[in-house]
Amino acid sequence: MSLTNHQYDQIMRQYEILRSDRESLIHNRREEIYAKIPRFQAIDNEIATSSVDLIQASIEGGLTGSVDTSNLHSKIEELIQEKLSLLQSHGYGVDYLNPPYHCPDCKDTGYIDHRPCHCFTQRAIDLLYSQEHIQKVFEVENFDHFSFDYYADDYYDDKSGSGISAKENAHKAYEDALDFVHNFSTRHDNILLFGDTGVGKTYLSNCIGKAVLDQGYSVIYLTAFQLFEIFEKNTFHKKDASDDDTVPYKNIFDCDLLIIDDLGTEFSNSFTTSQLFQCINERLLHKRSTVISTNLRIGDIANTYGERISSRFIEHYTLITLFGQDIRVQKSLSEF
């Protein structure tokens, strides 16, 4: 993930704050426990003293080879067990003084074995693409909150002639999306979501994005307008190879999952077509997954972007169609 020095420092300061907040929480909780359970502080003092004795004995043992430290080990273990018993007997969890890290994998350092953690990568993405808002969206729009109530049993799509209702079709789309998520690490699949305005394409894209993000992968979410704006800046406005505008451009090709929302709403021309082809083709070559939502149908895509792009969609993407009555309209009507 490409970052400038300033951007890197911004992210590392976030980790410093996380660790500092956790240490303050531990300190406050420990003071609370000491006030309520005086014996707890005495045990901590005993453990500290025994630990010093153990270190001294280990040093002496290394010199003489004759010091037995098993009694000290046993004593420390007994004291630790007494602490845990005291916590539980006073209604506290055994991990009360060991609150979880925001990221247990890197323990809020941003690195695992000197390599950036997945949480660092996502923080970089959020910073580069101003994606902080998407986290709040993911809290609401996810698989746990997905509702089939907005898809009617008696609504059919005359254009597709599939013979299944909007609700049956939504169940199938939901299962296809889950399959994509469950096999994300091994199959490197792609999805193209079709449908009219307001039938839930963006919502289902967000469900996928949230689930992939929860697995520890990097996710970039862009509208088609934002995507082509980045391409335009990289092509026509960059000053040199180190220009900050090249950073978001490079990451579009490298992130684990790229979500492009509302393809077809941008002003289409030869430039957007060539850039879209490069994006899709490069990600296919490097086995990076992409989810695209559009109001266009496959024939419209061929007419708008050409056969090279539509053929790649047909060959390499799972095509999912959603249809039904406009969900936004249904929600508005339900408020009256």
The structural domains of the chain, with segments of one domain joined by +, span: 5-111, 129-334
Which pLDDT belongs to residue 60?
73
pLDDT higher for 166 or 59? 166
Beta bridge partners of 221: 259
Q: Which CATH architecture has domain 129-334?
A: 3-Layer(aba) Sandwich (3.40)
Length of the chain: 336
* Least confident span in 64-68, 161-165, 295-299, 317-321: 64-68
Give the tens place of pLDDT for each residue, 85-139: 999 999 999 999 999 999 999 999 999 999 999 899 888 878 876 666 777 888 8
Angle at 330 between CA 324 and CA 334, to 5 degrees: 155
115-116 and 111-112: which strand pairing?
A: antiparallel
Give the tens place of pLDDT for each residue, 170-197: 999 999 999 999 999 999 999 999 999 9
Give the tens place of pLDDT for each residue, 267-301: 889 999 999 999 999 999 999 999 999 999 888 99
Mean predicted lDDT score pLDDT of the chain: 88
Which pLDDT belongs to residue 281?
95
Which pLDDT belongs to residue 214?
86
